[in-house]
Amino acid sequence: MSTVLEVKNLNVETTGKLPHSILKNVNFQVQSGDTLAIVGESGSGKSMTVLSILGLLPVTGVRITSGEILLEDKDLVGYSDDKMNAIRGKEIATIFQEPMTSLNPSFTVGNQLAEVFRYHTNYNRKDVKKRSIELLKKVKIPDPEEKLKAYPHELSGGMRQRIMIAIALACNPKLLLADEPTTALDVTIQAQVLDILTDLKNEFGMTMVIITHDLAVVAENCNKVIVMYAGQIVEMGSVEEIFQKPKHPYTQGLIQSIPGIGKPKERLHTIRGNVPDINQMPKGCRFHPRCEIATEKCIKQEPILESIESGRRVRCWHTL
Amino acid sequence: MLAHVIESRDILRVENLSKDYPIRGGVLGRVTERIKAVKNVSFNVKKGETFSIVGESGCGKSTTGMCILRLIEATSGRVYLNEKDIFKLNKFQMKNVRSDIQIIFQDPYSSLNPKLTIRKILREPLIINGYGTKSEIDEKIISILEMVGLGAHHLDRYPHEFSGGQRQRIGIARALLLDPQLIICDEPVSALDVSIQSQLLNLLQDLQEKLDLTYVFISHDLSVVQHISDRVAVMYLGEIVEMGPSKEIFDNPKHPYTKALLSSVPKVNEQVRRIQKRIILDGDVPSPKNPPSGCTFHTRCPFAEDICTKFAPEKSNINKDHTVSCHLVENGDII
């Protein structure tokens, strides 16, 4: 297995006189064929990680202060827009959360699919159309030829998300980043879309990174998991390890908080308090104000992401 | 399971509730079509229980909730609160009833006025209902805030100073101020993270016990519904397709749509996942503008037969509390 993507010591901070850290020392690798999940609550930095990889961080307000993002042997940090444009859509493709807003409402589906080919290939019109229809068939869109002429508003949410998948797959990317791909969809439609993603993954041996807050989606569709909290990775491991033997108190709390695991009406497990604000990040372990087992050491000293087995890491003083 | 329901008196009875939205077209702006958002929905809610309405977007679950409160006027049907027909009341009589039924909205970001402090937001319902002097009002507000896990020191802050979970607590406090009997919870935890969601679900359950509240809980999240409900109604395209005690609906669903819906939910527990086979439905929910003939679910139903395309199924009883609208269940084809 080869490494497709490696993120090394990535730090992202806000700009300004008093910079606040948004991502702190994020380190991980994606091996070819993996389906890696990055989970966390809002504000944990999971979307920022993806935007950094894609070079799509907001132009003002935040910046990468240090670290490397290695796509095979290229370091993407500091790539110009032109250079990134050649990579986005061809080597790394993305599916965003909102299928309602991520398609351009004033162009047809066919037009938006063709754009990818125009940019990255030298197909002629005929090839583009043929390939577009093929792609729509792959994502199980009924009568694809007709749908090429449709505008986004004529399609349902699930259909739009499938178009997004088709656009993402157009150039057989090495890596597919899916940022909350099914969060905006109803459960029966979510099941359809996840089914398509799994099929395509098996067919093309695609490498995927799924960003989500839905632990059940992770449990069913991914093989490796990264748990993020307040801009840091707090735990990583295989999906079985994370769900059966979670080591970090945050991961444990998160899994126990899901309703429907215990008996109905029984009190749910809760994690006290709220996710910290980026300008009031707790000292020491960032989770200590909400942690049940925090001690003096946790308040004073920041734990490191210690490796406990191969591929398994935990950032906590007490599980080691 | 219904142990905490002391009397099984119906607090709310909804009979044949329908809501049409007219679509106007042409030069004269005449009504050309009607969208049937809710069709002949009937159910009753017992005092002290949690009755949930589940379904996908566009199935009419929120419209049903709004119609009960008369925030939207229903096209036809009756709603009885404590045996009183509230659709017959005029504006002033309705004001009194409103203090008995309150609502918690989904989005804590847009349901609180950003220009008012928490004190002002919470004072409003009490002033409108002539609760008492300023100090009595403040006393009441503080006691309710403490009940939802906030305190007097939060009173002079503005909504933007609170996190999503805290804002939803304020929304709950606002609903509790007038000592309601029934609260309609319209997706109260959908906008929140899991760890915050569990805090609020616990809070809702504690309050129910302490204040003897009845909830109509509207949600699309089946694991939340399974956790909190006593009874569940499943809606599809404006109709209730199956209704019964929560345990029966989740352990032994009868309607093909309920089966598919439950099987679509991703599961953390591997054992549950292995037992339950996923049914993936074809296509999307049809537009309520031109719903399919016969049983509205037949276009996506894996078991549909001829009869389903022609006639709408009648409601049939599996047992006293469990009803389902499906030809095939009625004929004993799917059990």
Query: How do residues B111-142 score in pLDDT, each as one tens digit?
Result: 999 999 999 999 999 999 888 899 999 999 99
CB-closest option in B56, B164, B202 to A187: B56
Confidence tier at B8 by pLDDT (50, 70, 90): low
- CA dist., res. B32 & res. B82, Å (int): 38
Looking at residue A202, what is its pLDDT? Answer: 87
Longest dimension (CA), chain B: 68
Q: What's the rounded mean pLDDT across residues B261-285? A: 82
Looking at residue A319, what is its pLDDT? Answer: 78
- CA dist., res. B199 & res. B188, Å (int): 12
Confidence tier at B194 by pLDDT (50, 70, 90): confident
Q: What is the pLDDT along chain A (320 residues), one digit of tens a residue?
A: 789 999 999 999 999 888 899 999 999 999 999 999 999 988 899 989 999 999 999 888 899 999 999 998 899 998 999 999 999 999 999 998 877 788 999 999 999 999 999 999 999 999 999 999 999 999 989 889 999 999 999 988 889 999 999 999 999 999 999 999 988 888 898 999 999 999 988 888 889 999 998 899 999 999 999 999 999 999 999 999 999 999 999 999 999 888 876 677 888 888 988 888 888 889 999 999 999 999 999 999 999 999 998 889 999 999 75
Confidence tier at B1 by pLDDT (50, 70, 90): very low
Interface of A with B in 157-196 (CB under 8 A): 158-159, 186-192, 194-195
Could you report the predicted ipTM of this complex, rounded to two decimals?
0.83
Q: Residues B54, B59, B65, B66: what is their CA dihedral angle, to the nearest 10 degrees?
A: 160
Choice between A320 and B243, residue whose per-residue pLDDT is larger = B243
Whether A267 and B268 lie within 8 Å, measured CB to CB:
no
Looking at residue B166, what DSSP letter applies?
A: H
Got the DSSP string for A113-151? Answer: HHHHHHHH----HHHHHHHHHHHHHHTT-SSHHHHTT--
Closest residue in A to B3 (Cα) is: A265
CB-closest option in A156, A188, A269 to B264: A188
Looking at residue A280, what is its pLDDT? Answer: 84
Got the DSSP string for B191-259? Answer: TS-HHHHHHHHHHHHHHHHHHT-EEEEEES-HHHHHHH-SEEEEEETTEEEEEEEHHHHHHS--SHHHH
Closest residue in B to A40 (Cα) is: B193
b/e A228-238 (16+ beta carbons within 10 angstroms → b): bbbbbbbbbbe
Looking at residue B86, what DSSP letter applies?
A: G
Indicate whether B331 pLDDT > 80: no
For chain B, the structural domain boundaries read: 10-100+178-252
Q: Which amino acid is at A195?
A: D
CB-closest option in B57, B193, B201 to A186: B57
Looking at residue B6, what is its pLDDT? Answer: 45
Fold observed for domain A3-91+173-314: Rossmann fold (3.40.50)
CATH number listed for the domain at residues B10-100+178-252? 3.40.50.300
Query: How do residues A21-59 score in pLDDT, each as one tens digit?
Result: 999 999 999 999 999 999 998 889 998 999 999 999 988
Longest dimension (CA), chain A: 68
A150 touching B (Cβ < 8 Å): no
Indicate whether B321 pLDDT > 50: yes
Looking at residue B231, what is its pLDDT? Answer: 96
- CA dist., res. A304 & res. A282, Å (int): 15
- Number of C-beta neighbours around residue A130 at 10 A: 12
Chain centroid to Cα B202, Å, comes to: 18
Whether A274 and B196 lie within 8 Å, measured CB to CB:
yes
Looking at residue A261, what is its pLDDT? Answer: 64
CB-closest option in B163, B194, B247 to A254: B194
CB-closest option in A159, A268, A275 to B202: A268
For chain A, the structural domain boundaries read: 3-91+173-314, 103-172
A271 touching B (Cβ < 8 Å): yes
A275 touching B (Cβ < 8 Å): yes
Whether B268 and A255 lie within 8 Å, measured CB to CB:
yes
Max mean pLDDT among A6-10, B271-275, B318-322 falls in A6-10
Whether B199 and A270 lie within 8 Å, measured CB to CB:
yes
CB pairs under 8 A between A and B: 120
- Number of C-beta neighbours around residue A150 at 10 A: 15
Residues 6+ apart with CB under 8 A from B94: B70, B86
Indicate whether B335 pLDDT > 60: no
Residue percentage of chain B with pLDDT more than 90: 69
A259 touching B (Cβ < 8 Å): yes
What residues of chain A lie within 8 A of the CB of B226, using their CB?
A: 259-260, 264
Indicate whether B177 pLDDT > 80: yes
What residues of chain A lie within 8 A of the CB of B223, using their CB?
A: 216, 258-260
Looking at residue B95, what is its pLDDT? Answer: 87
Q: What's the rounded mean pLDDT across residues B250-275? A: 86
Mutual orientation of helices B134-147 and B118-128 as an angle, nearest 10°?
120
Name the minimum distance, in Å, from the CA of B61 to any CA of chain A: 14
Q: What's the rounded mean pLDDT across residues B204-231? A: 94
- CA dist., res. A92 & res. A54, Å (int): 8
Looking at residue B202, what is its pLDDT? Answer: 94
Q: Of A56, A41, A14, whose CA–CA distance to A279 is shortest?
A: A14
